[in-house]
Structure 1
């Protein structure tokens, strides 16, 4: 089994990261940090820097967790996350969430909502503290 962290460099992503590390440490399983990118996009706000991802791996290793990074490119980010979840025998996906207006959900969709509804495993949704 594995814990998968769907990481985006944002307040929700930064809230989800320590929770994912703690889950992996508590269960004694590896952590896969996924920073999925939209294939073909010239600029992607979901892209995490190499330094940020290295820092997450170092934090996981300091907690005794074996951590790796995956950066799949796919026009459908949810599809990329779910494919990795199946490939890596993931028991839990940890994802950061934020409040969105009904209009925002209608116009832009919600990666977190789709992951929660379509995942083949448990999903732990983490929101930043208010």
Structure 2
């Protein structure tokens, strides 16, 4: 089995990555990290470059956890990518980060995290970045 982490290079993404490592180490599983560019874009603020991915992978290896990176491009909905990769790797857990947003912001803009919680058919661990 595998722990799936949905990652973006932000403090929230780092919190999700760390929680995913904790869970994988505790369960004796590996980690698959989904870092999905929009429409296959090569320039995307959410896309992790190779040096950053290597640093995170080395951090995981120090804890005895193997990391695989998946950069499946998504169209309008990254939730589909998370579900597809979770199915591909038979994820035992999906880890996502939550950012602080006002109730009005959630209402107007929606929430990818909320849609993952509602639509992905795996257990989901949602974490916040330290304050």
Structure 2 length-normalised TM: 0.91
SS at structure 1 position matched to 2:107: helix
TM superposition shift of 1:78: 1.0
Give the conservation status (yes or no) of the 8 Å contact 2:79–2:120.
no
Of the structure 1 ranges 35-44 and 120-129, higher mean CA displacement relative to structure 2 is found in 35-44
Q: Secondary structure at the match of 1:93?
A: strand
Q: 1:57 to 1:90 in 2, by over 3 A?
A: same
TM-superposition CA deviations, 1:64-112 (whole Å, max 9, x none): 1121100010112111111100111001011110111233223332111
Contact (CA 8 Å) 1:86, 1:120: kept in 2 or not?
A: no
Structure 2 unaligned runs (5+)?
Answer: none
Deviation at 1:41, TM superposition (A): 4.9
Kindly indicate whether residue 97 of structure 2 is the aligned counterpart of residue 127 of structure 1. no
- TM-score normalised by structure 1 residue count: 0.92
Question: Does residue 66 of the first structure (1) align with residue 66 of the second (2)?
Answer: yes
CA offset at residue 48 of structure 1? 1.6
| Whole-angstrom distance in 2 between the partners of 1:40 and 1:104 | 27
Aligned length: 130
Are 1:50 and 2:50 matched, yes or no? yes
Q: What's the offset of the Cα at 1:43?
A: 4.4
- Provide the C-alpha distance between the structure 2 equivalents of 1:106 and 1:116, rounded to a whole number of angstroms: 16
Q: 2:35 corresponds to which residue?
A: 35
